[in-house]
């Protein structure tokens, strides 16, 4: 049971791009990484209003929806979502809340956890969102695997807890090659735990 489930909420496509690239990196490292989404009943509305949201609408909708069973089959869980007011998106929060019984039962105790976010304004805003996800993982009894400090990534200005992508005011700045380099380092760290 060394499956890694990457569970994403994405509106404008940035979290989806990060999730798919992380999945690709983990698969290259012989990890069974699978991609899931959380429910978002309003995504079609955003896709009709915004070109950036429309770019990946069909791809996001094609992903299977994450469930408790998804978590139970996972040795590692990676959560990713947009930052909203320095916190996880409402849709990701609803998914997290839906697993409360699992926290009480300690069903995920000892499994690994990692996270990322895409935000509009600042790395600090994204770091607050990551803190919320880490707190969730700790409540679930999971073991958080941070990005950590890496000399070769000193230029990246990333929090140690996870990965933050800055998308700009219109959320139109797509993840860059530099962020891909950060993801590759994170993938190396995560893959070792699942081999």
pLDDT in tens, 120-138: 988 889 999 999 999 999 9
Residue 51 in this model has a pLDDT that exceeds 80: no
From residue 154, give the alpha-carbon distance in Å to each of 68, 160, 190: 37, 11, 19
pLDDT in tens, 90-116: 999 999 999 999 999 999 999 999 999
Give me the CATH code for the 4-193 domain, please: 3.40.50.360
Per-residue pLDDT band at 52 (split at 50, 70, 90): low
- Gap between the Cα atoms of 43 and 65, Å rounded: 14
- Gap between the Cα atoms of 178 and 184, Å rounded: 10
User: How does the average pLDDT of the chain come out, rounded?
Assistant: 93
- Picking from 101, 100, 161, 93, the residue whose alpha carbon sits closest to that of residue 130 is 161
- Picking from 2, 1, 4, the residue whose alpha carbon sits closest to that of residue 187 is 4
What pLDDT shows up at residue 122?
87
Extents of the domains making up the chain: 4-193
What pLDDT shows up at residue 38?
97
What pLDDT shows up at residue 31?
97
Average pLDDT over residues 16-27: 98
From residue 180, give the alpha-carbon distance in Å to each of 19, 24, 39, 89, 105: 11, 11, 26, 23, 37
pLDDT in tens, 71-96: 999 999 999 999 999 999 999 999 99
What pLDDT shows up at residue 1?
59
Instruction: List Cβ neighbours of 100 (8 Å cut-off, separation of 6 or more).
Output: none
Average pLDDT over residues 54-64: 90
Instruction: List Cβ neighbours of 195 (8 Å cut-off, separation of 6 or more).
Output: 2, 29, 30, 31
């Amino acid at each position: 049971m060394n499956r890694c489930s990457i569970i994403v909420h994405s509106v404008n496509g940035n979290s989806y791009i990060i999730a798919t690239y992380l999945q690709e990196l983990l698969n290259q490292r012989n990890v069974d990484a699978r991609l899931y989404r959380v429910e978002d009943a309003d995504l079609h509305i955003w896709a009709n209003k915004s070109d950036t949201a429309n770019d990946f609408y069909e791809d996001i909708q094609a992903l299977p929806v994450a469930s408790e069973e998804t978590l139970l089959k996972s040795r590692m869980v990676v959560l990713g979502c947009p930052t909203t007011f320095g916190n996880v998106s409402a849709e990701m929060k609803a998914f997290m809340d839906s697993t409360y019984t699992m926290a009480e039962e300690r069903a995920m105790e000892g499994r690994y956890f990692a996270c990322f976010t895409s935000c509009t304004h600042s790395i600090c805003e994204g770091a607050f969102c990551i803190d919320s996800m880490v707190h969730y993982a700790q409540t679930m009894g999971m073991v958080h695997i941070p990005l950590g400090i890496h000399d070769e990534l000193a230029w990246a200005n990333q929090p140690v807890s996870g990965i933050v992508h800055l998308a700009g005011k219109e959320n139109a700045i797509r993840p860059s090659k530099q962020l891909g380099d950060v993801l590759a380092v994170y993938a190396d760290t995560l893959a070792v735990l699942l081999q």
